[in-house]
Structure 1
Amino acid sequence: MAKEAAARIKINKLLEDAGWRFFADEHGPANIQLEPQVNISKQELDEFGENFEKTSKGYIDFLLLNEKGFPLLVLEAKSEDKNPLVGKEQARRYARDQNCRFVILSNGNLHYFWDLERGNPYIITTFPTPDSVTGYQKVSSDPVVLVNEGIETDYIVLTQHPRYSSDAGWKNEEERSRYIQENKLRFLRPYQLQAIRALQQAVKNGKDRFLFEMATGTGKTLTAAAVIKLFLKTGNVQRVLFLVDRLELEDQANKHFKAYLSNDYKSVIYKENRDDWRRAEIVVSTVQSLLVNNKYQNLFSPMDFDLVISDEAHRSIGGNARAVFDYFIGYKLGLTATPRDYLKKYDGSKNRSKDPRELERRLMLDTYRTFGCENSQPTYRYSLLDGVRDGFLINPTVIDARTEVTTELLSQEGFIVSFTDVTGEDIEETFRQREFEKRFFSPSTNMLFCKTFLDNALRDPVSSEIGKSIIFAVSQHHAAKLTQILNEIADRMYPCKYQSDFAVQVTSQIPDAQQFTINFTNNNLLGSGNFLETYKTSKARVCVTVGMMTTGYDCPDILNLGLFRPIFSPTDFIQIKGRGTRRHDFREQLFDDELKEKILNPEKITFMLFDFFANCEYFEEKYDYDKVIKLPRGKSGKGGEGPRPGPEEIETYEHLGTDILATVREEPVGPEGMRIDRMFFEQFEDTVRENDFIVQSVEEGKWDQVIDYVNKEVFDKPEEYYNLDKLRKAAAIDRRLTLREILEKIFGLIPRFKSKDELLEEEFSKFIADYKPEEVNAIPAMKHFFKAYVTSDQIRHIINNKHYNELYTNPVFSARDLKAVPLKYREIIPEYIKDYVSLNQFAA
């Protein structure tokens, strides 16, 4: 009975928070009616009996009314220990009796919204407002019209230029190519048509969630624009939210939508149109801006957007960002360039907590689950190999170049440096690839990287200068050093042609860095046409970056990519490689018709991918390299030739302090410790909020960059001695917080730290939503099993090894508890947790 009363209290509050009224007030008349004809006073409602589901007159439903007092929505309530879906058919009958289109099914913790005209119930995280339901009702959703809508190659062009087919420039085949280019007409490619038609088929099959897995360079935004037009034109949605995970992609997407669809639909960036975004059919936003202070809940109703598209889906719905995506009711489309198959050789059963691919694996699994992909098959897939086969994309020529130093850094033993310190004590240090340019500095290795890159880089087919290139460095400091080295070498290679503008550092600490990326694409970075006046190409030839030019950056005339750092994220690797896969005809930049005819190889048919840290081997294990370069041994401090030098003689090894942790002051916490801890946390909060680099990086969603910066530049400094352990203690939460969570709290991206049990409840709710168990009476037992398995190493060991006898004496989870769990879920729950739940966050 207590569970029924608890559910009633929660449902009442959810209704009131969403603006529904049990009683008339200054906002209007009551719009909640208890059925069947149960009339009670406010006092009686507050004191209502424990069994709120049943009265002498039958079962109580909530009937929600519109502004005119007519039935609008049926809310079927169940007690906390029951799956809300058990009331589905009862609610359907009642809704039809009341002529209602909408149903909410809730047990106070788990809620489903159901549009009886559109398909199946699906989970919502909060209740919709009265106005949003009324607005949503105006959408006369008709999937049949959407499914039958004809989609041809000119679907976007008919919005850009409706009468194009009657223009003389189109009719004349000799002029047609120039006509298309001058009017910037975008015709859909065959595979883009296939993607849209696959979505139509999915809708026909009753689906409302879709995932397009399309390689970088295949035009995901154009495909998304066609999908948006399809839904808007057929009247199946009123407004679309397009989510990105970086600021630069926000502006880029909005420009594309304006270029493709502005004649029929208005597109805006939310943060630039906070007061009038409702005038637009397409709203573009970063996930981060909607997360700040739960803005998505405070400013929007779940029904404000009936189609939500997530660009780079596995990133923009990861972690807390998924809450934004799940909040809105309607169709959902995910776009990703990262195939789950990319990890097919990864054995997730080994070294789960240590392997850097584990996070990516979880993100990809969660992405496929979020978009309802059965058997991990996306709605439509078009891979890099497909693009290469069809002639739309190109493969790289990989240069696997390893110095002696990097070879040893990559080895299991690592790079070992031995020397005698100033006190006469023998010292031995071991470094590995992760520490390159962080704790291990090698000027000669960086010089060797740059020289090898320039000696082997593809040349521009028109001007014969070094082809446009992007180099990815370890850090901003590393980028600055590489830029300096490249400019010095270029000065010797091309005397008087460059004035320290051959290479440019493009990182977030550089003023106007974002504009630099745009200028590089537009071929006017620090000038244009340095070798040929009639040839428009950027004077600056190399952009040295860390992470700014990885995702969504479009520069088709890139000829060289340099991986001057180890990469541990499959997503980053695929995105970086994708910067070079677009085809290009260099004659488009040449304004000399006579010279055009003399260019022997004007089309880009490959690009160089310089890999100095065996990244290709790391991800692909066996790669058929087109070219392998064995580099000469640099001057290192390792080898058997005579005695090892002292630290002042090691030219390629610069060691920056290894004893930082020895200086951390540990102070016992007494009764007054809570206040001290709070002050400590507040001081850290002030420190990061005052740091412009951290603030900007958080706004841009560059979390890898933020966390790396805080670890290196903020933690363990002699002034404050901030570190993660102390911050965790100061937060006083019953689980292990991540640095990202702490920073998200500081910048208002999450309202508070969730307790261990709150997180467990959320994870279990996701599990229930996925499996929808029919054994509703066993849900409490399943929850107990789920929580025990997640939080207890001992329980996991017992279950995984089938040592069930040990449960008879276990105080946390007994044999009796296990027997209460349905047999099939004793297997399903552990496997689900292994795939989808990160155990680290639940550690104390």
Structure 2
Amino acid sequence: LFLVDRLELENQAYKNFKELLKNDYHSVIYKETKQDWRKAEIVVTTVQSLEFDNKYMRLFSPTDFDLIISDEAHRSINGNSRAVFEYFIGYKLGLTATPKDYLKNIDPEKINQADPRAWERRQLLDTYKTFGCEKGEPTYRYSLVDGVREGYLVNPVVVDARTEITTQLLSDEGYSVMVENEEGEEVEETFFQRNFERTFFSDLTNLQLCQTFMQHAQLDPLSNEIGKSIVFCVSQKHASKVTQQLNELAERAYPGKYNSDFAIQITSNIPGAQEYSISFANNNLNGHTRFLDGYKSSKTRVCVTMGMMTTGYDCQDILNLAMMRPIFSPTDFIQIKGRGTRRWTFKYQRKDGSRLENFTVAKENFKLFDFFANCEYFEEKFNYDEILLLPREKVEPGGGGGPVIYLPGAEVFVPDPLKAFKETLIGLDGMKIDRKLFERFSRPILEDQTLADAVENHQWEQAVQILRENYANKPEDYVTIEKLIKSEGLDRRLTWKEVIMRIFGMIDHFKTRDELLEEEFQKFVLINKPEPEQVLRIRTFFEVYLTDPEVRAIIDKREYPALANNPKLSMEDLKALGKWRDQVPAYVKDYIPINTYLS
């Protein structure tokens, strides 16, 4: 049994098993062969498929598999998914490039005395402990150095490019601009790299990053166009802006070659994003290249994302990765860099009269564009034995060592930062007084090292407790959940965990009820694959059941005649749902916190 936690990983695992082991083993994807999966030796599935409605217990015996392999084991067997992993009793193998070491430098006696549940959670989440590697060493390790040395992987060419603004954002002093305070007075405010595309915005900076990428990106060795690339952004809004800028630059550089599809945004708010990522790997996203007839390479050259294409995504012919965002997690950095390390041979066959000419070029490296000194941070400054610290760079004459890219028009922009910055701040969600309330509330929290440590280690109960005890309901601002909901204009309940995630930059805004609902429904569709003709009907039922307590009570008690005069859901609608009438409520109860959707 080969367990994954995302659809694209399911597809690529099956493709590789089939390609490499087809002569010896029969491989299947479980959801495509539910009735005769026992005829196969290798069964590939998402853990969600088995988890839904406890399918793993109803349809499988604990002894059905001799070997259970968990791909991306640092993530795929956490939470409720752990039950699936523990249910089967065969040999167990975990695969990961970034194991989670939650027991590192922890004193078991102290933490057990202080909070026994925290100690239990750490043991459950620790990848080494899960697989019996008590001393923090894996059963088998194959490093990037090993892979490169033995010819299986390639190293990057790091491109350290910093604009005037990003150089200052990275410095201890930060980047200072004049802004208007609540009294209408101009005051100096300083921003750092964490603020980029969150509270500090500069379209000219984004444009310079895109231009630098376009000018220096590694080219496809056969078609001579920009090699296939992934760009990592700060947020969905940032990804949207970067995508637009790249498409505009591509249209000017290569007129007639693209139709605003040189770059495509692949984030969770884009319908069909997962399918786009699969098509990109299969070299048919928006068709094939127009640079070389008959050459099988994707017409779209750049995927712009946040995190969807970070962990486990396998696209071997990637030639460029661009980090247009600061990165503070070593796990994220390793996973991003790993997207480019696969080897690949570029092939093209051309017919010359009666003769066929074959062209092949091996991938020797890839370019890693680093616009926020991430490589320097993890190479020289990150403390691998302690909690993650903010990266800092000292500004020195000439730009601090490393190529400095100066913004065109920077002299025009620098004297007039207030106009651009001010306009962007006004554009943030909420009125000025609401923003200032949240900013004033956030500032001391960000400086609380104990709370920051809890957040960094995902100790959410501890983080929420610190926040509520030390900062909420205080006379200075008297911030409550209800006040935040009102100030943000939310149409649903808010949790303190979400507040903490917003303050520490893990989310860029509080999602509305509709946004959360759409995300949950897309998950439901991906896992359950309803018939196309039923999707709209199921979508309506899904929303009504989640958001209307009266309808939910009627469905749960099976008092269906009470729907006779209900304007949201009729008896006819309920009958037309068929099996989904029961499957939707079961899914909601198992996986969705209903309280979040209450007003």
**TM-score normalised over the length of structure 2:** 0.63
Mapped pair 1:748 → 2:590: yes
Contact 2:264 2:302 in 1 (8 A): yes
Output one character per residue of 1:665-686: Cα deviation in whole Å (capped at 9) or x when no partner: 7669xxxxxxxxxx9699x999
Please give the alpha-carbon distance, in whole angstroms, between the structure 2 residues aligned to 1:317 and 1:495.
48
Q: Name 1:500's counterpart in structure 2.
A: 260
- CA apart distance, 1:655: 5.9
Mapped pair 1:453 → 2:213: yes
Contact 1:685 1:746 in 2 (8 A): no
Mapped pair 1:660 → 2:434: yes
Relative distance call for 1:281 and 1:536 in structure 2 (3 A) is closer
SS at match of 2:264: strand
SS at match of 1:448: helix
Output one character per residue of 1:436-486: Cα deviation in whole Å (capped at 9) or x when no partner: 223322101110110111111112222222122111122222112111111
Relative distance call for 1:380 and 1:653 in structure 2 (3 A) is same
Relative distance call for 1:450 and 1:515 in structure 2 (3 A) is same
Q: Name 1:584's counterpart in structure 2.
A: 344
Relative distance call for 1:680 and 1:577 in structure 2 (3 A) is closer
Relative distance call for 1:504 and 1:681 in structure 2 (3 A) is closer
* Match among 354, 357, 373 for residue 614 of structure 1: 373
Mapped pair 1:335 → 2:109: no
Q: Name 2:404's counterpart in structure 1.
A: 630
Please give the alpha-carbon distance, in whole angstroms, between the structure 1 residues aligned to 2:306 and 2:593.
31
Q: Name 1:393's counterpart in structure 2.
A: 153
Contact 2:123 2:130 in 1 (8 A): no
SS at match of 1:255: helix
SS at match of 2:367: strand
* Match among 499, 513, 518 for residue 692 of structure 1: 518
Relative distance call for 1:659 and 1:317 in structure 2 (3 A) is farther
Q: Name 2:362's counterpart in structure 1.
A: 603
Mapped pair 1:404 → 2:230: no
- CA apart distance, 1:338: 2.3
* Match among 250, 253, 256 for residue 13 of structure 2: 253
Output one character per residue of 1:247-266: Cα deviation in whole Å (capped at 9) or x when no partner: 22123223333445556655
Contact 1:373 1:379 in 2 (8 A): yes
Output one character per residue of 1:725-774: Cα deviation in whole Å (capped at 9) or x when no partner: xxxxxxxxxxxxxxxxxxx9966248999xxxxxxxxxxxxxxxxxxxxx
Q: Name 2:271's counterpart in structure 1.
A: 511
Contact 1:291 1:749 in 2 (8 A): no
Please give the alpha-carbon distance, in whole angstroms, between the structure 2 residues aligned to 1:637 and 1:654.
24
- CA apart distance, 1:380: 1.7
Relative distance call for 1:348 and 1:479 in structure 2 (3 A) is farther
Alignment of 1:203-602 (within 5 A): 241-261=1-21, 265-274=25-34, 276-278=36-38, 280-338=40-98, 366-420=126-180, 424-586=184-346, 588-591=347-350, 602=361
Output one character per residue of 1:556-585: Cα deviation in whole Å (capped at 9) or x when no partner: 221111111222332322222122112223
Query: What letter is aligned with 2:519?
Result: F
SS at match of 1:602: strand
Query: What letter is aligned with 1:693?
Result: E
Relative distance call for 1:660 and 1:524 in structure 2 (3 A) is same
SS at match of 1:382: coil
Please give the alpha-carbon distance, in whole angstroms, between the structure 1 residues aligned to 2:310 and 2:76.
15
Contact 2:152 2:342 in 1 (8 A): yes
Please give the alpha-carbon distance, in whole angstroms, between the structure 2 residues aligned to 1:632 and 1:257.
48
SS at match of 2:69: strand
Relative distance call for 1:652 and 1:275 in structure 2 (3 A) is same
Contact 2:323 2:372 in 1 (8 A): yes
- CA apart distance, 1:511: 3.4
- CA apart distance, 1:244: 0.6
Q: Name 2:446's counterpart in structure 1.
A: none
Relative distance call for 1:296 and 1:447 in structure 2 (3 A) is same
- CA apart distance, 1:610: 0.3
Contact 1:244 1:286 in 2 (8 A): yes
- CA apart distance, 1:381: 1.4
Query: What letter is aligned with 2:126?
Result: D
What is the identity percentage for the equivalent residue pairs of Structure 1 and Structure 2?
Answer: 58
Quick check: which has more Rg, 1 or 2?
A: 1
SS at match of 1:285: strand
Please give the alpha-carbon distance, in whole angstroms, between the structure 1 residues aligned to 2:162 and 2:201.
16
Please give the alpha-carbon distance, in whole angstroms, between the structure 1 residues aligned to 2:332 and 2:266.
17
Contact 1:560 1:580 in 2 (8 A): yes
Output one character per residue of 1:63-84: Cα deviation in whole Å (capped at 9) or x when no partner: xxxxxxxxxxxxxxxxxxxxxx
Please give the alpha-carbon distance, in whole angstroms, between the structure 2 residues aligned to 1:272 and 1:298.
18
- For these two proteins, the number of residue pairs brought into alignment is 443
Q: Name 2:465's counterpart in structure 1.
A: none
Please give the alpha-carbon distance, in whole angstroms, between the structure 2 residues aligned to 1:748 and 1:686.
22
Please give the alpha-carbon distance, in whole angstroms, between the structure 2 residues aligned to 1:535 and 1:524.
11
- CA apart distance, 1:377: 2.5
Query: What letter is aligned with 2:377?
Result: Y
Alignment of 1:751-766 (within 5 A): none
Output one character per residue of 1:623-678: Cα deviation in whole Å (capped at 9) or x when no partner: 9xxx9421215777999x87x7644676887762564374977669xxxxxxxxxx
Relative distance call for 1:333 and 1:648 in structure 2 (3 A) is closer
SS at match of 1:397: strand
Output one character per residue of 1:165-185: Cα deviation in whole Å (capped at 9) or x when no partner: xxxxxxxxxxxxxxxxxxxxx
**TM-score normalised over the length of structure 1:** 0.46
Please give the alpha-carbon distance, in whole angstroms, between the structure 2 residues aligned to 1:686 and 1:446.
27
Query: What letter is aligned with 2:89?
Result: I
User: For the aligned residues, what is the CA RMSD?
Assistant: 4.5
Moved more, 520-529 or 271-280: 271-280
Query: What letter is aligned with 2:378?
Result: F
Output one character per residue of 1:71-129: Cα deviation in whole Å (capped at 9) or x when no partner: xxxxxxxxxxxxxxxxxxxxxxxxxxxxxxxxxxxxxxxxxxxxxxxxxxxxxxxxxxx
Relative distance call for 1:700 and 1:422 in structure 2 (3 A) is same
Structure 1 residue ranges without an equivalent (≥5)? 1-240, 353-360, 669-678, 702-743, 754-844
Q: With CA pairs under 8 Å and 6+ residues apart, which has the higher RCO, 1 or 2?
A: 2
Please give the alpha-carbon distance, in whole angstroms, between the structure 2 residues aligned to 1:552 and 1:287.
15
Structure 2 residue ranges without an equivalent (≥5)? 112-120, 383-400, 439-478, 484-491, 496-509, 528-585
Query: What letter is aligned with 1:366?
Result: D
Query: What letter is aligned with 1:618?
Result: Y
SS at match of 2:244: helix
Relative distance call for 1:474 and 1:381 in structure 2 (3 A) is same
